[in-house]
A and B are shown apart, each in its own frame.
Chain A
Amino acid sequence: MLVLDRVGKTYPNGVHALEGVSLSVSPGEIVAVVGGSGCGKSTMLRAIAGLDAPGRGCVALDGTPIAAPHERIGIIFQEPRLLPWLTVAGNVAFGIGHLPRADRDARGAAALARVGLAEKANAWPRELSGGQAQRVAIARALVPQPEVLLLDEPFSALDAFTRADLQDHLLALWADTRPTLVLVTHDVDEAIVLADRILIMRPRPGRLFEEIAAGLARPRDRRSDAFDAVRRQVLDALDRSLDRAAVAAI
């Protein structure tokens, strides 16, 4: 169980990024966090990852406080962040450098095959397309078999087709070991396709505003009426979170 208890953060420059965020995520649950830019969603994710310690409150995984990056928590960033001097296989195995070479190679190759890029093992990152590079980044994050996987707008830099493709792919990967996923996104459809629960955040300071259960069976059809209803619900909540009058349904 991943627990955030009244987490708050004020940056040294005085920006009040996060205030009183409390949240519990069960093992294997998929939670999406949406909100306007500057609502503190990335700050929250970095606090869970242990990259930036929260100023107030605490983050705990199964009772262990998280103050630094933890082996049971993985993260995928908006950009692939592959190391350009390692081959694709070297990048995928980067996080398990402490294992014996044979294990490393086997687990790396398995992860690479799982994201459909086995034939790219010896390629350099510069030879990959944007979608392929992000798939390598996903493989790299999954290789150490984290219990919690954090995703910071992971597909926002990709075109719409690649994005939908990778969303489905991520769900297939998730089904293998069922890690907890916490996904930050500004793409409402992406949140609804992936998440069990959608949290809407509100800015200045960033705090949780509303929670919506997706309640849709998987696999989800992006064109169904039920999907549309959830989309309308989320958009309404987003409007209210920004103190805008609800825009008439699309």
Chain B
Amino acid sequence: MAAIESSVIVGTAGAGRRRPGHLSDRLKGPALGLLLPVLAAVGWELAVRLGWSTGRLVPPPSVIWETFVQLARGGALQPHATATLARVAIGFGAGVAAGTLVGAATGYSRFLSRLLDPTLQALRAIPSIAWVPLFILWLGIFEASKVTLIAVGVFFPVYLGVMGAVASVDRRIVEVGRVFRLSGPQMVRRILLPAVLPSYVIALRSGLGLGWMFVVAAEFMGASQGLGYLLIDGQQLGKPAQIVTAIVAFAILGKITDWLIVAAARPFLSWEDRFAGQGAR
């Protein structure tokens, strides 16, 4: 009861939904976030230009940009980025599908939870990279082993998030569904799905983060294409600018895909009674 009450009170006090965002607020958000990276980049560029550092091991932004343009114009960057994106997409898709199904089942049924969860928790305790030798033995050194590793990495955060979210849906809200005699599928669609959506988005985002992490590990273990390959190649040929270029590409792709999840979920979450935006402004 306390939760519902307090949310009601916060709601009336904030009444934030229809308040138009001030223009200055909208500009301030992204601008503020860019301040640190831009300062660091300008500072380092100046340090190299003024001869305080050779910039050989840590190339300045201008050199990185040059390498980036060179790689992109030579048509080398796109296939690498596409290969990595494809691996993440397939691995993430498989990991999310499995994590969602198993997580929902164990969150819903105590029996399945007691049957499956101990085993899954034990498997989760194994560092996923430790599977690499086995996956290569079982699945070969090509795509299958890479995608599997990514899927395993994505599976666990999604599984944990979905299980926790389903198991902690407010019993009193579920009772409302029972009073109105919802069938099993109706209960899932009209009560459980919307109730777990906020946690699900967070689970997807942490799963995606791990997906990007494991694609690098996967590409380290022998790939002829991909941003991870560019990293290894840059190390072996002593080209730090290429390494940083690949890292920047990872950062951009990771941020964009994460934003895609947030943007896709936003229309369904406008009801949320959130602290952020009201308290943290």
B1, A157: Cβ atoms under 8 Å? yes
Given the known interface contacts A51-B179, A74-B179, A83-B176, the answer about A126 and B11 at a Cβ–Cβ threshold of 8 Å is: yes
B153 CB, nearest partner CB in chain A, Å: 31
Per-residue CB contact flags for chain B residues 110-132 toward chain A (1 = under 8 Å, else 0) read 00000000000000000000000
Q: Is the CB of B271 within 8 A of A124?
A: yes
Which chain A residues numbered 71 to 123 have a C-beta less than 8 Å away from chain B? 71, 74-75, 77-86, 94-95, 97
B28 within 8 A of A: no
- Judged by a CB distance under 8 angstroms, whether B221 is at the interface is no
Give the docked Cα–Cα distance between A84 and B194 (Å): 9
Asked whether any CB of chain B lies closer than 8 Å to the CB of A129, the reply is: yes
Interface range on chain A (Cβ under 8 Å from partner): 20 to 34
The answer to whether A97 touches B190 (Cβ under 8 A) is: yes
Instruction: Say if the beta carbon of B273 comes within 8 Å of chain A.
Output: yes
List of B residues within 8 angstroms of A75 by Cβ: 179
> How many pairs, one residue from A and one from B, have CB atoms within 8 Å of each other in the complex?
81
B11 touches A94 (CB 8 A): no
Across the interface, A85 reaches (CB within 8 A) one of B4, B175, B271, namely: B271
Interface positions, chain B 192-221, Cβ under 8 Å from A, are 194-195, 197
A206 interface contact, C-beta 8 A: no
Which of A49, A82, A83, A126: most chain B Cβ within 10 A? A126
**Are A126 and B181 neighbours in the complex by a CB distance under 8 Å?**
no
Contacting B at CB under 8 A, from A140-187, are: 144, 157
B17 partner residues in chain A, CB cutoff 8 A: 124, 127
Given the known inter-chain contacts A69-B181, A126-B271, A127-B17, please indicate yes or no for A81 contacting B8, CB distance below 8 A. Answer: no
A residues whose Cβ falls under 8 Å from a Cβ of B: 49, 51, 68-71, 74-75, 77-86, 94-95, 97, 124-130, 133, 144, 157
Extra pairs beyond A81-B173, A85-B195 (15, CB < 8 Å): A71-B181, A75-B179, A79-B5, A83-B194, A84-B272, A124-B11, A124-B273, A126-B8, A126-B271, A127-B11, A127-B12, A127-B17, A130-B5, A133-B4, A144-B180
